[in-house]
Structure formats: structure tokens, C-alpha cells
Amino acid sequence: MFHPRRLHPRHVLRALLLPLTAGLALTALPAQTAQAASTLTNGGFENDGAGAAVPNGWSEYGDTGASFSESGGHGGSYRLSHWASTAYKVETYQYLSGLTNGSYKLTAWVRSGGGQNSAYLALKNCGGAEQRTDLPVSASGWIRVVVPVTVTNNQCTISVTSDANAGNWLNVDDLIFAAGTAGLTVKGADISSLAKSEAKGGVYRTSSGATGDAVTILKNAGMNYARLKVWVNPADGYNNKARVLAVAKRVKAAGQKLLVDFHYSDTWADPGAQAKPAAWAGHSYSQLKTDVYHHTYDVLNALKAQGTTADMVQVGNEINGGMLWSEGSTANWGQLAGLLNSGYDAVKAVSSSTSVALHLAKGGDLTGTRWWFDNAVANGVKFDAIGLSYYGYWHGTLADFQTTLDDAAARYAKPVFLAETAYPFRLDSEDALENIIDLSGELVSGYPATTAGQLAWMNAVANIVEAVPNGRGLGVFYWEATWTAVSGNGWDPTDASSGNGWENQALFGYDDRPLPAMAWFGHR
């Protein structure tokens, strides 16, 4: 995570919305008979060309004039669009029968200007509960989404639905309905701030207002994985080995898995700072390799000894430029590789089944991610998974994120996950420190700083990770879900008076109750 002291001046995002082409309002034809076949017809909307009020193979319901095909497809020349100059509700659907019962997955490429009351793909009447995937707001780039379903009655209806305001639009193209499954294994959050928050008087409440345990509240919302950072000898005595051991007991007691995030520093390690711990200052490169091994082994072995073995470990945090500068800088890949492999070997010495991830803050940077991991592979770095930070207000568009994530999964044949993301539910601050994101101009277009906007953001990124091909999208970690405004629990471990600048991006509101965005933990 980037640090408050390095976030000014602000990085204001440019608006990325493209103007919708004029002349889209068409007169609807009578709805056609629903298709009855075991395969999807005209999933690319190429059969009719532009201007088809009811695309071949599809039927419509509602304000049918708002659904039509037009030029500008994803893979071909044409696409399905929903748009009208007045508020509208419309469904474009196709009925499939004669299906063999089993698991299926709908894949589609989508774009949307946002603003709808709802806009989603659905699989329904398939024998079980309707499955939906909301369309992300992405005006400039196509995004692939998936919808999985279990067919139990030999039929299924594929639906594109809009409940929209005047001028709202969406595009859908290249739909494929085939055997397959989807979902997220990891629905997690970083809760590294929790122990200090509680010690300084922080309170967490249930939705009814009763005082509760934050770990339990998050678990009840569907969180199944906790991420905890480890510093070597921090000035405030938190996020060290002893504190991690204590919180790990609570995490495992709640039936959750554990990701341990080694910073190899006494304070924040991120793309702008990878300072060695004071105890390792002046050590030679050879000594640093030993330091990494011993520190990693010590923490993980202590976790194992108390019955809370780590399920995943990050060797380094946001190591775009390497770690343990300057010896472990990317200016010397041979030495960086040695340090990373020292950490990997320590992890496996404690538990061979613990997965080792490498973590970059390059969620929307395809070129940078390739450069880094190409060098890692060329230098023999060992790793099991790839984690990327992706904050939409810093790291490019959702389409950029999907391109980078998909490429990393395919290029290195490794599972990938979103190691850090978050989004504000309001802009004003609850403590004296201005929030890191506190201006509307800093937000991602289409995602307001509201409780609904925060939830929509989480659904969007979760849907992108779920859609990584070949089942390589592991899941998502929300960054610092419990970092509410509590006096003494600021961002600077050397300054007890520092605020945190992040309380408007926690998953607990200013009333200490769970926010609606916790619903994303219930992602399939």
C-alpha cells in the first residue's frame, strides 16, 4: 500500500468516458419466439448487422426499443446495445433447452457507461437459484465477465437486463455458453490494523449496533482469508511477530485461512520505500540472505507451533523495485533473486504446502509486470502465485487491470490474486488527518464515494478476478478493512498522534458498523 506521506500532490484521474454515438433510438419489432436449442445462437450479434431491433436468436421484453444491434463489436463488427433517451427497463434473452445437466459458464465481453439502477447478465430458470454478474462501469475498454450456473432441469435462459435512466447505455458481445465453473477461492481482507485499534479503544459493532469482535463480524459476512503484515522491530510494537501470533489464533479459530505478508522492514515497505530493518543495517548481502531466512522461518515456525500454520506467504510487499535496498534492488537482479529464494526456502522448510506469492503494485501495468516477472524467471526466482495491488484511482482502468492479470496468469502459468484494493464510501475525514482520497476528482468514473459505490467497486474487481481464464483467478484481499479512526492508531509507527487517512475506505463505517460493501465477501 502506498503511504500517506508520499501521496501528495494528488493523482487526479482523467475522465475516461467516451461519448455515446448518436442515433441509437430504434423502433422495436415484435418480440421473436424464444430459441429452443442446446447451443447459443448469434452470441456475437453478427447475423443481422447493424440496426436489428431484435437480433436473430434473441427475444426481448419490456421497453424493447432500447435493445438493438449496432456497429462496434468486440470481436466482430457488431454488438448488442441497450440505450434510450428516456428511462427504460429492457431484457434481451435467449432460451436454451435440451441441455445436459451439469455445470455451465456464460462468458461475455461488456462495456457500460454506468448510472443504471441495475445492469447485469443472468442465467435463470436453470433449475436452481438465478445467477447474476453486474456489468462493471467501463466506458472505454471491453471487460470479460463470467456467470456460472448448475443446470438441473435441462434448460436455461441467458439474459441481458437493464433498469436504466435516460441516456444510460451498455454493450454486450461475444457471449459463449459452455461447460465450466467459476468462483473465488479467496475472499479476504488485510486486518493488520486490528490489534492496535482494539488496544487504543477501537470498537467494532454488528449491524444492529451491538459491540462485537471484528474477526467474527467479517467471518459472518463471508470473509474466509485474513492477511497480516509482519515488521521486524517496529517502533510501536505492533505488526511484529508476537502481535501476528496473537491475531493468527483468532483468525484460525474463526475457521479462516491466513496470509502472512513479510515487509522485511521496521516500517512500511512499498514501491517508494524498502528500508532494511535497523537490526540488519550494515549487513553484507550474504548476511541479508541469512537474515531473510531466519526471520521468515522464525515467524512461520512459531505460527506452526501454536497450530496456526500460514496458508500463504508473501515474500516481500509491493516489491516493484526490489526489497532491502540497496542490496536487493532490481538494479541487481542476481542479488534480489537470492534474497527472494532465501525467503521461499524458509517458507517451504516450515510447511511445504504453504503457497509463496510475489507481490507487485502494478495492477494496471502490463509492461511493468512483464518486465519484473520476466526478470524473476530468468534469474531463477521461485514462487507459487502472483499478487498484484490494484487501486483504481492510481493504477489504470479496470480494462488495464484485467489485461495485466490475465497476462500474468497465462505468461507464467501461475494462479493470480488481487493482493490489495479498496474504495472510499465517503470523502470527509473522521480524524484530523486528511484522507488519502478525499476529492471527487480522484475517484474512478462511475464509482461514487458512497456505500453503494464502494460495493460496486468490489463487485467489479471480484468479477474480473473470477473471469481469469483456466481457473487461475484465486481471489481478492480488501486492504485494511478494520482501519477505522482511532486516536493513537495512525499510519506512522513512530508518531502516536498521526491519523490514518484511510478510515473512509474501511469496511466499518464512522458508526463502527459493517458497511454494505461487506456483501462482496458473499461472492460465489
Burial class (CB in 10 A: 0-12, 13-18, 19+), 192: buried
The Cα angle at residue 89 between residues 151 and 156, in degrees rounded to 5: 10
Q: Is 420 marked active-site?
A: yes
Say if strands 67-71 and 78-83 run parallel, antiparallel, or are unpaired.
Answer: antiparallel
Adjacent-strand bridge partners of 260: 228, 313
In the chain, the amino acid numbered 443 is L
- Put residue 180 in one of left, alpha, beta given phi > 0 → left and psi -120 to 50 → alpha: left
| b/e per residue 158-167 (b: at least 16 CB within 10 A) | bbbbbbbeee
Task: Outline where DSSP puts E strands in 1-117.
Answer: 59-62, 67-71, 78-83, 88-97, 102-112
Q: Which of 46, 91, 318, 327 is catalytic?
A: 318
C-alpha cell belonging to residue 169: 447505455
Any idea how long the chain is? 524
Give the C-alpha separation, 185 to 147, whole Å.
16
Q: Is 318 marked active-site?
A: yes
Q: Which of 420, 442, 466, 503 is catalytic?
A: 420
Contact in structure between 180 and 105 (CB atoms under 8 Å): yes
Owner of C-alpha cell 415484435: 30
Short-list 181, 158, 160, 185, CA closest to 170: 160
Annotated catalytic residues are 318, 420
